[in-house]
Chain A
Amino acid sequence: MRSFDKSTRLDPALVPLWVGLWGFLGLFVLYPLVRLIYIVFTTDGGVSLINLIKVLMSWYNRKAFFNSLALATAVSTTGTFIGFLFAFAVTRIPLPQPVKWFLGAVVVLPFVSPPFTSSIALTMVLGPNGLLLKLLHAPDFNIYGFWGTWIAETLTYFPVAFLTLTAVLKAIDPNLEDAAMSMGNTSWGTFRTVTLPLSIPGLANAFLLLFGSSLADFSTPLVMAGHSFPVLTTQAYLQITGMYDIQGGATISFILLVPALLVYLLQHYWVEQRSYVTITGKAGAPSVVKGGRFFAEALILTIISAITLFIIFLYSIIFLGSLMKVWGIDNSFTLENYVYVFTVGWEAVKDTVLIAIISTFIGSAIGVTTGYLINRKDLPWRKTLEFMSLLNYVLPGTVVGIAYAVAFNSGPIVLTGTMSIIVALCVSRYDATGIRATIASLQQIDPSIEEASLSLGASRFTTFFRVTLPLIMPAVTTGMRYLFVVSMTAVSATIFLVSVRWSLLTIRILECITELLFAQAAAFSVVLVLIVFFAIGAIAVLFHIIYPNYYRQLRRL
């Protein structure tokens, strides 16, 4: 690996690319952050720690700090576990193709639907007087607090783990598992000694992504956590929107940086120190994917079926709600909520789709480039670049949003009220998945494949587009899908950036919920989910058009 890196060390063609990336990150990550830190560490123009001390003195904020950590740990543990079960089922258990497709579609539902709607559906099902509790004659329990937030966040974020881990498990050469089996290993042994260790970078990435998501999530706790279980993001948000205190809110979220960065560094060094090369180009023809033993498979299928059914139940409530006149009172069928979406809400639908499409294309170009340069090229400060490229993701959305609002409202670059500020935020904040997926899948691809192409006389450009890119295509499309989805559903950061000219669907949904227009909110959500599914399909089609030979090429390797 090292020799390959050194050969391209001083490639001058990479300089403009490298400078461009730094320019982007400098402008949209570093600059707002500096402005934010300036707000946190100054009082009346002078440098001081008063803001930080004030925040740390509050018992409520300290409680929120520990709650945030506990919640993020719980959510990333359960989320990664469930995500892995689903990914394993899809990639290793011989299920019929339509079932796999169906599972994939259902699983992404909580992730692609705006967080407020799923939380509200959850309170209707498991909350006081909840539908499911009544159905099962279970006693009421207070869902508001840790339990509700944990369940809702796990449901919302385990699809991230599922998508990441599916890509990773798919990339593991089944020949290795075959080899282990043919050497007399049991399927559990094979799983433990081959599949699981090879999934570790994926698992660690999933854990990191989930931990970050949970730490940064404010919308779920806002609906589910209530006053008994404060977390830092809601504290920051409430401080800003409730106490009109941007400085205090910025300071609270600044504290969030510490655990977020710590987890990032831990994961980073843990994964970095191991080699996970499995696509070596030296393997023979892959054989049929082998599953585990019957009992293990049955157990996994039972668990994922139960979760899938629960999600379907949750979302049928939202769907039904969108088709009813007055939920719970007048349950007659109506389409007027959809008429509302396509008349009053049309601007928001249009704006959101446009912003998501632009963000996806710009973001995936930047994401793949970043991931590729970080993993394959020994450029100066690449560790710093990698860290910077993930920073906006690690930071809670509320903070990034406020930092943007402060930074781009005055000074040399004024972007408030424009579409570019939202696009820049989506790209710089949600690129992380694409970058991490690209790096993770590059880690599994032996550079000798690229070396072979180069030594056969192909240009670096051809090698990248004909060899590397096709191999990491699952990671690229994962990144694209993720970018599109989160650009469609982002709330915490964009809530401060939407303007009278550019509005977003999720903000409209939040407003509908605040205004008790549940049916309209539900209709908005249904439309949003349909758009996202359509887009995911479109991305898949696009991918097949660009790389019609992708699977054939893979098989030839």
Chain B
Amino acid sequence: MKKNGVMGKVVTLAILGTILLSSIATAAQPELNAYTIWSERYAQAIFSAFTKDTGIKVNWMRFSSGEVQARLEAERKNPQVDVVFGNMAEAFVNGIPKGLFEPYKPQGAERIPDAFKDTDGYWTGVAIDPICFMFNTRFLKDHNVGAPTSWQDLLRPEYKSQLQMADARTSGTAMYRILSIIEAMGEDKAYVYQKKLNDNVQIYTKSGAGGALPIARGQAAGGIFFLVDALEMQQKGYDVTISYPKEGVVAGIEAMALVKGAKSPDLAKKFLDWASTERMQRIYEGSQINLIPSNPDVKISNPGLDMSTVNVLPLDIKWAGDNRDRLVERWINEVLR
């Protein structure tokens, strides 16, 4: 009978051990904790440069835009990170009324144009990323069609079930695709158009970049992407063609913000100051990160990033953030149905 008690102790100890291990794990020195939506290579380059410059260690994780937002919301009462770096501006706008962020105007952000930062200092834009078309060059050749240069071109019968693009529910890319179409043709027409476009879609991918590899490998003909992802495919050596619709596209703003209730607000502010400088945005080109710097002082030499011939439409970030949920609902109900 006593021996059965031994087993009880084993199980109880096991459970206690589980709980005890947590206290060991939580005892850590002050380090900056951050979420980012930037791909690992990009984030690695930025955060390690910050560590090199300041000696502050950064613990960071990469998630999709929506996941970052969901985590911030779940952790609201006990924030796990101090800084969000590189989420889309409209996601920050969406999170402000939910009390996820704290306003802070970083030193060094003065040179960043007002269009790329929040007037109250809730978020600061660090990079600009336009929407573009990316097609498999061989597919275009085999089907004897030129690269699409208009939104209407995407409705060509050659592309039936051949396009891959991001799902509006998870992807920032998809949101900016929808915003581009709305800015180019007005909201109601945009949804009629998207319903037609739906016939040519093979699959909507979870992440914005998700369709890029299938297109590069010829599993699909093409799709709509952020320029950064399209240029990345070219950089890797895949033969893809990038083009823009003449009616215009909008450009995403990648921003950063201080998390409300951050455990190390001082380190966070130090990071935000540092990341607003010219020095940080110069890392893009050096590390082959194909983003357009938000700081006009940072010069770029990559012709792929030259927007002078592209019709980039103005975007009301506030409107986009406030209407995001409604636009996605509408997409589910009118486009997917």
Cβ contact within 8 Å between B21 and A423: yes
Residue of B nearest to A520 (CB): B40
Task: Scan B59-93; emit 1 where CB is below 8 A from any A CB, else 0.
Answer: 11110101101110111011011000000000000
Residue of B nearest to A405 (CB): B74
A69 CB–B CB distance under 8 Å? no
A500 CB–B CB distance under 8 Å? yes
Cβ contact within 8 Å between A365 and B66: no
Residue in A12, A59, A144, A329 whose CB lies within 8 Å of B237? A329
Q: In the complex, A60 Cα to B26 Cα: how many Å?
A: 42
Residue of B nearest to A508 (CB): B40
Cβ contact within 8 Å between B66 and A460: no
Q: How far is the CB of A343 from chain B (nearest CB, A)?
A: 11
Binds B, one of A170-178, A197-205, A381-389, A410-418: A410-418
Cβ contact within 8 Å between B26 and A226: no
Interface hits, A69-89 → B, CB 8 Å: none
Residues of B within 8 A of A223 (CB): 206
A55 CB–B CB distance under 8 Å? no
Task: Scan B300-337; emit 1 where CB is below 8 A from any A CB, else 0.
Answer: 00000000000000000000000001001000110011
Cβ contact within 8 Å between B61 and A516: no
A518 CB–B CB distance under 8 Å? yes
Residue in A415, A515, A517 whose CB lies within 8 Å of B22? A415
B11 CB–A CB distance under 8 Å? yes
Cβ contact within 8 Å between A461 and B4: yes
Binds B, one of A209-217, A238-246, A270-278, A436-444: A238-246
Binds A, one of B188-196, B213-221, B267-275, B276-284: B213-221
Cβ contact within 8 Å between B73 and A365: no
A514 CB–B CB distance under 8 Å? yes
Q: In the complex, A500 Cα to B206 Cα: how many Å?
A: 23
Excluding A20-B12, A227-B203, A365-B14, 7 further A-B contacts by CB distance (< 8 Å) are A20-B15, A24-B11, A419-B22, A496-B74, A500-B81, A511-B40, A512-B40
B123 CB–A CB distance under 8 Å? no
Q: How far is the CB of A469 from chain B (nearest CB, A)?
A: 11
Task: Scan B15-57; emit 1 where CB is below 8 A from any A CB, else 0.
Answer: 1011111100110100001100001110010000000000000
Cβ contact within 8 Å between A14 and B4: yes
Q: In the complex, A409 Cα to B26 Cα: how many Å?
A: 13
Residues of A within 8 A of B220 (CB): 128
Residues of A within 8 A of B77 (CB): 409-410
Q: In the complex, A24 Cα to B8 Cα: how many Å?
A: 12
Residues of A within 8 A of B229 (CB): 516
Chain A contributes a number of interface residues (CB within 8 A of B) equal to 83
Residues of B within 8 A of A327 (CB): 217
Residues of B within 8 A of A418 (CB): 21-22, 25-26
Q: In the complex, A238 Cα to B67 Cα: how many Å?
A: 9
A residues contacting B by CB (< 8 A) are 11-14, 16-17, 20-21, 23-24, 58-60, 123-124, 127-130, 142, 144, 222-223, 226-227, 238-246, 326-330, 344, 358, 361-362, 365-366, 369, 402, 405-406, 409-410, 414-421, 423-424, 427, 459-462, 464, 495-496, 498-503, 511-518
B residues contacting A by CB (< 8 A) are 1-12, 14-15, 17-22, 25-26, 28, 33-34, 39-41, 44, 59-62, 64, 66-67, 69-71, 73-75, 77-78, 80-81, 94-95, 98, 161-162, 167-171, 201-204, 206-207, 209-210, 212-214, 216-220, 229, 232-233, 236-238, 325, 328, 332-333, 336-337
Residues of B within 8 A of A416 (CB): 75, 78, 80
Q: In the complex, A358 Cα to B75 Cα: how many Å?
A: 26
Residue in B20, B70, B201 whose CB lies within 8 Å of A240? B70
Cβ contact within 8 Å between B78 and A13: no
Cβ contact within 8 Å between B22 and A17: no
Known: A60-B336, A242-B66, A242-B328. A227 touches B204 (CB 8 A): yes
Cβ contact within 8 Å between A501 and B44: no
Cβ contact within 8 Å between A402 and B15: no
15 A-B pairs with CB atoms under 8 Å apart are A14-B8, A16-B12, A222-B206, A226-B203, A227-B203, A238-B170, A241-B66, A242-B66, A365-B14, A409-B75, A416-B75, A460-B4, A496-B74, A499-B80, A513-B210
Residues of A within 8 A of B41 (CB): 515
Q: In the complex, A179 Cα to B262 Cα: how many Å?
A: 72
Cβ contact within 8 Å between A227 and B3: no
Residue of B nearest to A372 (CB): B7
Known: A60-B336, A418-B25, A496-B71. A127 touches B219 (CB 8 A): yes
Residue of B nearest to A460 (CB): B4
